[in-house]
Structure formats: structure tokens, C-alpha cells
Structure 1
Amino acid sequence: MDLIVDKVNHFNEFYTWALSVSDKRVEDWFLMQGYAPTLIITAIYVIFVTKIGPKFMENREPYRLKWPIVIYNFVCIAINFHICSQLLYNTTMVGYSYSCQTVDYSDNPYEVRIAKALWWFYFSKCIEMLDTVFFVLRKKNNQVSFLHVYHHATMFPIWWMGVKWVAGGQSFFGAMVNSFIHVIMYTYYGIAALGPQYQKYLWWKRYLTIIQLIQFNIGIIHAVQSLVLSCEFPLWMQYAVVFYASTILALFLNFYFQAYIKSHRRKVKEVEEKKKGEVANGVSNGHTESKKKK
């Protein structure tokens, strides 16, 4: 028991020290005072989408939620477009390097706007948890995969740390690319939510997944090259990006294989077996007809 108390005290000391060296510009921003609110929201999300939500919907008809989902998707488009455009414009104005960029903790207006855009990126990950909530309420349980829940449950708390300590510098690149991809992604979801009559415009679903895979590779390459160049940016953040992006990439590759390659092979096999069955039936019927004539 004493050992546990000692460990807790050491952690509290470390956490207090870590807060003391965090970015002073963001300390009074919404949810930035401490880690507890972010962790509590994440825990509520996981418990709801894996336990409470499915149990609540078990004996209920699925909710349609067409217009709430349409509105939600276009709100996500607007938020991600704001993040991407703000990061692109302000980092260009101060001459950010795409190879190695240190964090500027000054009150330079452009740097503050970059920090605010990164805060919006962090907060957007809280809003995007509604993706899974809508799946649960519509009883689309096949969509609530490990990859989906893992991604949503980790991005929010990870980016709290990103904004708290490194709201600028190398952090801008991954957030800018990801928000750009999300503009495309939520455009797809928004059109899909409008109804079956719009399915003909959604032929590019597979390419959306490919773009996401490319994004993760770019993120890993960007982080690795900054490590190779010994970029003046916190090492823990660079290693965290490499590790986290690698786990997401592996899970997305598995999803791509299962959803497209394996699924395509299964459909081809089913078609071939169906053709074989039809040929077999035709031969059998031919023999039957011949016997009848005799």
C-alpha cells in the first residue's frame, strides 16, 4: 500500500512539474487547465459506445437521424476547413519549414493563431466522437470496429498533450494534413447521409481509404526525417507520432485488406461457384431430357 501511495505521489509531482513547463499561452483556454476533463470525456465515450449505447438500443428500433447527421457532417467540414486554412496561411506567413520547425512560444499574432488552430484540431476530435454515437443510435454496429473506437478514443487525449506543450512547430504539419483529409472525408459522409439517391456520386469511397493510408505514411515519414535531422522539437512527441501513426496505419491496412481485397476475392469466388453450379445443373438437365426422349 505504501508503495502505491509513493508511486501516486511521484506521479503527482511529475504532473505538477510538467504543467509548470507547459505553454503559458494556452493554460486558460477551454479544457486546457488540466488533463482530467479530457480523460473523463474519453472514458464516457468508450463506455457509451461499447456498453451503455448498444445495451440501450438492444430492443429498440434504430433512429434515422438523417438531418442531424447531415448537419453534423457539414459542421465538421467547416471546422476542418478552418483548421487547415488557418494553419496553411499562418505558417506560410511566418515561414515555417516543412522539414524541421521548432516551437515559438511568443505572442506573435501568427504564432497565437497557429496555436488556436491546433486547439480547434484537438477539440474537433471531441466533436468527432459523435461519429460512433450516431452509429450506435442507428444500430450500425458493424461500423463500430476496434480501429474506429481506438482512433477516436486516442486522438482526443493525445492532442491535449500536443496543444498543452507543443502548440506550434512540427505539430502543425500532421494537423494540417489530417484536417484536409477530414474535409474530404466528411464531404463523403455528408453526401452519403442525404440518401440512397446520392449513392451514384460516391464511387470514390475506396480512394478515400487510399488517401487516408497515404496520409499516415506521410506523417510517419515526416516524423522520422525530423528525428534523423535531430530537429529541435521534443523527442517524446516525435517518437509518439511515429509509434501512434504506425499503429493506425497497420489497422487501416488490415481494414483495407478485409474491406476491398478479401471481399473482392470472396465475391469472385462466389460468382465462379455460381457459374459452376449453373453449368452442373445444365448438364444434369440435359441428361434428364435425353433420357426422356429415349
Structure 2
Amino acid sequence: MASLAQSLLQSPQDFFIDVARTVGVYTAPYLDPVEDALAAQMEKYFPTAVHHFRGFLVAAESPLARELPLMNPFHVLLIAIGYLVTVFVGMQIMKNFNRFEVKTFSLLHNFCLVSISAYMCGGVLYEAYRGNYGLFENMADHSAKGLPMAKMIWLFYFSKIMEFVDTMIMVLKKNNRQISFLHVYHHCSIFTIWWLVTFVAPNGEAYFSAALNSFIHVIMYGYYFLSALGFKQVSFIKFYITRSQMTQFCMMSIQSSWDMYAMKVLGRPGYPFFITALLWFYMWTMLGLFYNFYRKNAKQAKQAKADAAAKEKAKKLE
């Protein structure tokens, strides 16, 4: 137990890589027959699509991805489907139960995510400094020199599984209003996208999004943690969380826009173009969805304030 704790404190990325690899050793043999059967059926009905997909995996896979666990797309698909099924089935089951008191578990979850997010932000920036990264236009490094950053990006990808617990807590607390399309889409899609980033190019330009998102999560989960402890002094932060998330989407869009311009117009070598274009598109979908969420919340807050003022006025007139 002491050696595990020491390993976790010294190198969280290696600790979680070892954990994921160990779990994979015990679970993969049971999943292999299912994977083979599914692949056979897909190849039977969609031979061309399967051929192109396999060709893509072979051509796009970074040599560094072979050093990392949880890179099998079938396992990623199972986890994503498992998340969606657990959420929607869990909501149906909870209709028959009273909400659970999960404050202690929630505090532990938020503390863990604050800690790992702070570590990832600092670790990614440190590896960027060591690798002489610039602000933008950082090419993927598939050599052994790029492995330390690849491990940090893998940890960022793996942390998206840990963030699934956000939704599980909402299910247990019966906070169904919070389990919106935005919430579920964001958690599920970000996990699969960062699998693709880690699989294809787990360093280079990926550092910017990983560091920035980790920093935002330090603020967000830190706010959740302190609020749950009863620190009302941090209540003002809630107003800025969605704004800070939207700001990060804008910054990531600027990065991907510049990279695409540099590659296609200026003719410079760069990060894989299809990953850059995917992130550009994804950031705009996130920006639109979060803006809609922010606008609705602002409208509800304004209405609640007006109702409270009207109630107070009526009370004075009595």
C-alpha cells in the first residue's frame, strides 16, 4: 500500500498507466471473442468501411501509442457506451429510490480531480518547456524524446474517464436537470476525441488544450470542493466558470485556426491536419452549446432576481 501511494505521488502518469495496463491484462482476454465476432459481422455487411478503418488505424497510429494502454478503439467504444447506458438506466432506476447522500464521496471526487488537474497543467507545461515548445505550430514527436509528453497527454485522456463520475453523482442525487444534452455530449465526446489525439499524435499541439483545460478544471472542481465544504466566500466564482470555459474554447479555436492557416496557406509542416480540423469544429460546437447554456442560466437568474424583488415589494406593502 505504501509503495502504491509513493508511486502515485512520484509519477501519477506512470501509476495510472500501470493500473490501466494491469486491468487490460485481466479484461482483454474476455473481450477478445466479442471484438472478433463484432468485427466479423461488420466486415460481412460493411467490408469496404472495415477495410478503410483498419487501414486508418495502421497508418495513423503513433509509435508512442503502442507504449500506452487503453488504445484499442473497441475498448474505447465499450466505455463510451457503458457511460451512456449507466446514465440513462441509472436515471430510470433512481425514480424508485430516494436521492442518496453522497457528500463525502463527492468531496473526495472533487479533491482528486483538483489535484490531478493541477498536476496535469503543471506537468504538461513543464514538458513543453523541456521540449522547447512554442505557443503554436508544435509538430508531433513520435520518437522516444516525445514519450514524457505523450504520457502526460495519456493521463489527460484517462482523466476523462474519471470525470464520468460527475454524472454518476448527479444520478445518485437525482439532479436530473443537470444531466442535460450538453453535459452528456461533452463528457462522452471529449473522451473519444482525446483517445484519437493520444492514438495519433500524443504531444505537439495537443499540449495547449490539455494544459488550458486542466487549468480551467482546477478552478471548476476547486469551486465545487470548497462550496461543498461550506465556504460561501467562493460563491462569486460560479459566475465566471462558464465564461472561463467559453474563453478556453475561443483560445483553442484560435490555435487550430492558426495551425490550419500555417499548414494550408503558408505551407509549413505541422500537427496532423485532420486532428486540427476536428478540434476546430469541436471547439465551435462547444462554444455554441455553452453559450446557449450560459444565456439560459443568465435569463433564469434575472427572472429569479425579479421575482425575489417583487416578493419583497409585496411584503412591504402588506
Fold shared by both chains (TM-score > 0.5)? yes
Aligned-residue offset at 1:272: 6.0
Distance 2:308 2:210 in 1: 44
Aligned-residue offset at 1:150: 0.6
1:220 aligned residue:
253
Distance 1:7 1:224 in 2: 38
Distance 1:18 1:107 in 2: 23
Distance 2:69 2:191 in 1: 14
Aligned-residue offset at 1:19: 2.3
2:118 aligned residue:
81
Equivalent runs, 1:140-151 vs 2, <5 Å = 140-151=175-186
1:162 aligns to 2:197 (yes or no): yes
- The TM-score, its normalising length taken from structure 2, stands at 0.80
1:202 aligned residue:
235
Aligned-residue offset at 1:275: 7.0
Structure 2 CA distance for partners of 1:59 and 1:13, relative to 1, 3 Å = same
1:97 aligns to 2:130 (yes or no): no
% identical equivalent positions: 31
Q: Name the aligned partner's letter for residue 108 of structure 2.
A: I
Structure 2 CA distance for partners of 1:276 and 1:176, relative to 1, 3 Å = closer
2:95 aligned residue:
58
Unaligned runs of 5+ in 2: 1-41
Structure 2 CA distance for partners of 1:185 and 1:273, relative to 1, 3 Å = closer
Among 215, 220, 232, which residue is 1:180 paired with?
215
Structure 2 CA distance for partners of 1:268 and 1:127, relative to 1, 3 Å = closer
1:190 aligned residue:
225
1:27 aligned residue:
66
1:153 aligns to 2:192 (yes or no): no
Q: Deviations over 1:194-252 (max 9, x none)?
A: 2xx32343221111221111111101111101111115221111111111111111111
Among 168, 190, 207, which residue is 1:133 paired with?
168
Q: Deviations over 1:12-62 (max 9, x none)?
A: 222222222311122242211x20111111111112212x11111112111
Q: Is the 8 A contact 1:181 1:212 kept in 2?
A: yes
Q: Is the 8 A contact 1:103 1:233 kept in 2?
A: yes
Q: Is the 8 A contact 1:86 1:113 kept in 2?
A: no
Q: Which has the larger radius of gyration?
A: 1
Unaligned runs of 5+ in 1: 283-294
Distance 1:259 1:268 in 2: 12
Aligned-residue offset at 1:267: 3.0
1:107 aligned residue:
144
Q: Name the aligned partner's letter for residue 73 of structure 1.
A: N
- The TM-score, its normalising length taken from structure 1, stands at 0.86
SS class of match (2:236): coil
Q: Deviations over 1:256-285 (max 9, x none)?
A: 11112x124313542565477679x77xxx
Distance 1:39 1:166 in 2: 19
1:16 aligned residue:
54
Distance 1:72 1:112 in 2: 28
Structure 2 CA distance for partners of 1:228 and 1:268, relative to 1, 3 Å = same
Aligned-residue offset at 1:185: 1.0
1:240 aligned residue:
278
Structure 2 CA distance for partners of 1:183 and 1:90, relative to 1, 3 Å = same
SS class of match (2:141): coil
SS class of match (1:105): coil
Q: Name the aligned partner's letter for residue 119 of structure 2.
A: H
**How many residues are treated as equivalent by the alignment?**
271
* Larger helix proportion of the pair: 2
SS class of match (1:242): helix
Aligned-residue offset at 1:149: 0.5
Distance 2:124 2:70 in 1: 21
1:285 aligned residue:
none
RMSD of aligned Cα (Å) = 2.0
